[in-house]
Chains A and B, each alone.
Chain A
Amino acid sequence: MDGDICATATTPPDSDPARKRRVHGMLKLYYGLNEEGKTVDQAESMNPCDINGTHFDPEVYLNKFRRECSLGELMDQESCMVKQIRSLDSDMQTLVYENYNKFISATDTIRKMKNDFKKMEDEMDCLSTNMAAITEFSAHISGTLQDQHAQITKLSGVHNLLRKLQFLFELPARLNKCLELQAYSQAVSSHRRARCVLQQYSHMPSFRGIQDDCHAIMDKLAQELRQKFRDGGSSAKDLSECVELLLQLDEPAEELCDKFLIHAQSRLETNLRGLEAELRPPLSSGPTSVIDPSIGPARRLSAAPTAGSPTDPTSPGNPFLSSSSRTDILEFIDRGCNEFVSSLCLVIASYQELFVNRPQEGNLASKNIPQMAIGKLHAFVDAMATCYFSLVERRIQEEKSVGDNSLLVRALDRFHRRLQAVAKLLPGSAVPSQGTEIVVRAARERIKQYLAALQSFYLDSLRDVRQALAAPRLGGSSAGGGSHLAGSATGKDAPASLPELLSSLSASILNQIKSVLASVHLFTAKDITFSNKPYFKGEFCSQGVRESLVVNFIKFVCQSSRQFCESAGDRGGSTPPALLLLLSRLCLDYETSTITYILTLTDEQFLVQHRSPVTAVAALCGEAREAAQKLLKHYVKVQGLIISQMLRKSVETRDWVNTIEPRNVRAVMKRVVEDTTSIDVQVSLLYEEGTRKAHSSDSSKRTFSVYSGSRQQTRYAPSYTPSAAMDTNFLSNIHKLFSERIDIFSPVEFNKVSVVTGIIKISLKTFLECVRLRTFGRYGLQQIQVDCNYLQMYLWRFVSDENLVHFLLDEIVGSTAHRCLDPAPMEQSVIEVICERG
């Protein structure tokens, strides 16, 4: 309160807003509108010292002041109070005055209102009397108009009926006019409107007449429409209009479908015929297909604009078609797509619009047209597509040259892509899947062609190698290699060629495989639409490329190599031995690395997922190794045969009983050593040395024991028959018994020593067999001794185990001695002298 009072005291009374507010607050108080600070008020209101409170007690207030304040303060307080009272007084006066003014003006207003109301009352009375008059009139009018209204309604009904009747009676004429003007749709709609009525009142002759007339006209109209429909020259829009009208005319939908389809068929067949015409090139261009790859680039260039331009490729103005009778496959497919497939799509679309998707109205709905129509459409599309596919397939089959695969792939891609449109238009159709099948078949066919190409390439390379081998060898071997010089010359010629030939052969084959893989890879490229088909993701990669192409090719290589072994032996070894050796090495290389490399490459490139079982690398390697083994074996056989033949002839053609004392080593033995040397050189070019047993220090010098007398063979272990005679020559038998039994025909290993050993074994065995067929005189035996010693001097170094040579030569000399009439062996020293003399 102090604050309040102080504030009141301190603030000048003329500060209006504050004062006004306070006055306002007091008024509020007065009227009990206590809206703010109620609680405060209540708290304060109990205070008897609150001068503004309701419980203000002046006594208490005064006492309080008197007790608490000094005189000065009391004085101040008193003056302040006086001031306040004064201001309050003036406030009150102002209020009273204001209220009075307001009261006065209110009284004036009320008085004025009183006057106005009186005037209004008079006007209202007037209005109500007028209204009453109007009501009276209105009732009067309606009363008079009542019966006329009913008549008018009736009249207008009659008027309508008459209009309809007029329409009916005019209908025939109208229809005729429409017919004349070819406003078919109008005619049909008119007729449809009248049809029911006519139908209903057909029992009345006049209506019947109209109906008959209408029928006749409509029949004519339908006839005309059909004619138009049949003519086929009309545009698709016209056609669809026709169909719609005919449908409305209750024409059977099936028939219409059929007709529509037949019409479409004739158009599509024109397209097909166009395609077929391209398919059958003039006979003269038949051979040109062979050189197709050579003209390929030019044709492709010419094909590109044709493919890109939307112009009709059949237009005579097209220079590319007129210039050449034969189109390449891309162009062909393009044409097929642009003409046939787009026409087909159009047909499907319009057909569907006409028959399938049309809003079903009236009685047409009941006939289940869409189902029937869809069925027909499917049959039609299938039939047409079959024709088209057969053409495409024929064209694809003509695509024999494997020069450029991208063209084919692009063509197939386009072919496949365009068929997707059909798929979209006709969801249930088998056409796209058939198309995919064609693509798949084409891909398969392609793989086959590539395999064939690879095979022929391989054979060609082999022929080249053969020629290359024949050229230098002619000089060396056909001249007979009479001297050491000739032998070494062959040896020197060969090193330049054999490994080089091998590496170039294997490199070119590998390159060819790689390029074929790259070509085939196009089929699975990402931007090709059919590459994501399951076939191309799975089977094509694993069964097609890996198995049919790569694995089959490797198998072919092995197989053709093996064939060299089989054919050559029969009819006079036509395969040069060097080729056998080279192929054997090739197969061995395949076994060790190439096959793994090729297959890994394939698997990587094609991301082969082996869902179906595939040929294991190991199996292929095994096959290659087998082929290598067989080739090498055959090589040994062929080379052994050549040397054997020389030895055999030399033994057979000589009279060994009456020969002269040996003075020289026979030339044939020198030749044998030379040939063996050159074989050794040849083999060493392609095969590693291999292991051999340690040589004794004097390998070249060894004495052959000649068992004079009867060299009787033992019974080693006769199981049942006891020996009939005691062995006369224990030494020989025991020697033979304890010297390791040497397997003359052990399998050949992949190294030089083993190969040469094999050849020497075969040769010496032949020598032995030949010797056993002859009878020798003393000098014959001695000659053989000399020869064997010579062979011993030179051959030991080539073989893995020199004991083998010893054994066989021993055996030869022993057998000779046994077949000698007068076995008197030559002194070893003499033999050595003769041999060293050469």
Chain B
Amino acid sequence: MEDDAPVIYGLEFQARALTSQTAESDAIRFLVGTQSLKFDNQIHIIDFDDENNIISKSVLQHQAGEIWHISASPADKAVLTTCYNKTSESRVVTCGAVWRMPPEWESGSHESPDDPHNSHNPQNLELLCHLDNSSHGNASCVLWEPMGDGKHVISLADNHALLWDLTESSTQATISSSATLEGKGQLKFTAGKWSPHHNCTQLATANDTAIRGWDLRTMSQIYCIENAHGQLVRDLDFNPNKQYYLASCGDDCKVKFWDVRNINEPVKTLEEHSHWVWSVRFNHSHDQLVLTGSSDSRVILSNMVSISSEPFGHLVDDDDLSDGEDNHQDEKTQEPLQDSIISTYEEHEDSVYAVEWSSADPWLFASLSYDGRLVINRVPRALKYHILL
């Protein structure tokens, strides 16, 4: 089966922040935030037309500063948060804010991308509110409540985890509770993830080499995996279908899968990257598909069958039973469904800092490298059909 060639899109600026538009379930849409100290930063809204293999984009101005993290509201398509650097008086501060995209942005999206006016006269984002945390330090990321109503966000700022309540219109944010990581030295959260399980009452954070779990109701630590990685932990993700399963990645070039009920040993370790792994993502529908991006410029799609929520081969069994061939069935069921690397994508030439599955099409994902290259790839068809059939 011939697989479609990857689609590559280039940004003018360097970029680290990538998210899919979580609330959008029809169109394949990604949001990319740029990093530029000299020019106005932008948020690129990238639409991908799957049938025609065409990318169309819109650009929104984000004048507040260079974007380090971006995250889209699960409830309102137009609402998103960013973490951005603000430079003032030779001080660099990272802030978080909630933004609304102007309603007209979509009108320009179908214009010809060649039109220079389109990219040079972009519209501005509308600031809804600051997640003001001057007292708490630099924000490293803002997390929306998964599958929530867009009323709750958590921001991680230095060693604080802050739970914010947003008003109906998201124009005002108040801290409802907070947790602080105490310890010696300068502790700083590097990454976090809001668990979609347990009624969204759990949060996982990473600082240095440790992974911690928090109960949001009491804002207290519930578990701590010390030395989860040999070096800094860069990213976390929850298995969307298995409530205790967590993936992490870090500077030791490894991706580890944890069962948080047993934190002594990882369930599984992948060691495919040759440099820091910056991002790890479970597929939203088929959690055996795990995507990782690394500063070795590679994106790797792995098939972690052994720890996925999908029972292996039960569909295959059904088929065979209808065939009535016992031998065949035996063969199939005994055929070891092993964890494997599905594919290594080498379209990037610089470090890949973010990878993201599309929220609309489970077989499609985007990856973003520092040089501003966004690559959209699909899961190989053979595997897709293997999973589906």
Contact = CB atoms under 8 A, between A and B. Distances in A.
A713 B372 CA distance: 7
A657 B276 contact: no
Given A719-B7, A724-B119, A765 B295 contact: yes
A821 interface: yes
A629 to B, nearest CB: 14
Interface string B50-83: 0001110100000000000000000000000000
A593 B270 CA distance: 34
B107 interface: no
A712 B370 CA distance: 11
B197 interface: no
Interface string B257-297: 00000000000000000111000000000000000000110
Given A720-B8, A724-B10, A744-B296, A572 B227 contact: yes
B365 to A, nearest CB: 17
A745 B296 contact: yes
B336 to A, nearest CB: 21
Interface centre among A718, A722, A820 (most CB of B within 10 A): A718
A818 interface: yes
Nearest to B39: A710
A725 B115 CA distance: 10
A712 B37 CA distance: 12
Contact of A775 (B7, B53, B92, B351): B92
A818 B119 contact: no
A573 B12 CA distance: 42
Given A572-B230, A641-B231, A769-B295, A723 B8 contact: no
A74 B105 CA distance: 190
A16 interface: no
A465 B345 CA distance: 43
Contacts of A719: 5-8
B371 to A, nearest CB: 3
Interface string A693-733: 00000000000000001101111111111111100000000
Given A715-B373, A744-B296, A775-B85, A657 B9 contact: no
Contacts of A718: 8-10
A657 B349 contact: no
Interface string A727-747: 000000000000001001100
B198 interface: no
Given A570-B230, A722-B114, A769-B351, A657 B37 contact: no
A252 interface: no
A720 B92 contact: no
B113 interface: yes
Given A641-B231, A657-B92, A775-B85, A720 B349 contact: no
B252 interface: yes
Contact of A724 (B12, B254, B296): B12
Given A715-B8, A775-B85, A710 B36 contact: yes
B217 interface: no
B87 interface: yes
A724 B58 CA distance: 11
A334 B29 CA distance: 87
Contacts of B14: 713, 818
B87 A821 contact: yes
A475 interface: no
Contact of A721 (B5, B10, B252, B254): B10
A658 interface: yes
Contacts of A569: 230, 252, 254
A720 B7 contact: yes
B46 to A, nearest CB: 9
Contact of B12 (A571, A709, A722, A725): A725
B121 interface: no
Interface string A756-776: 000000100100010010010
A799 to B, nearest CB: 17
A721 B8 CA distance: 7
A744 B294 CA distance: 13
Given A569-B230, A641-B231, A820-B37, A723 B10 contact: yes
A733 to B, nearest CB: 10
A416 interface: no
Nearest to B13: A712
Interface in B1-49: 5-14, 36-39
Contacts of A820: 37
Contacts of B296: 744-745
B149 to A, nearest CB: 34
Nearest to A713: B371
A819 B91 CA distance: 14
Given A710-B38, A715-B8, A721 B230 contact: no
Contacts of A715: 8-10, 372-373
Nearest to A746: B274
Nearest to B91: A657
B350 interface: yes
A714 B8 CA distance: 12
A777 interface: yes
B257 to A, nearest CB: 14
Contact of A641 (B8, B13, B230, B351): B230
A658 B90 contact: yes
B140 to A, nearest CB: 11
- The 6 A-B residue pairs whose C-beta atoms are closest, nearest first, are A715-B10, A713-B371, A745-B274, A775-B92, A721-B9, A725-B12
Interface of B: 5-14, 36-39, 53-55, 57, 85, 87, 90-92, 113-114, 119, 227, 230-231, 252-254, 274-276, 295-296, 349-351, 370-373
20 contacts: A569-B252, A573-B230, A641-B230, A645-B231, A657-B87, A657-B90, A657-B91, A658-B90, A713-B10, A714-B10, A716-B349, A717-B8, A720-B54, A722-B113, A724-B113, A725-B12, A745-B274, A765-B295, A769-B276, A775-B85
Given A710-B36, A713-B372, 18 more contacts: A569-B230, A569-B254, A571-B227, A571-B230, A641-B230, A657-B90, A709-B38, A713-B10, A716-B349, A717-B8, A718-B9, A720-B7, A720-B9, A724-B11, A745-B274, A745-B275, A762-B275, A775-B87
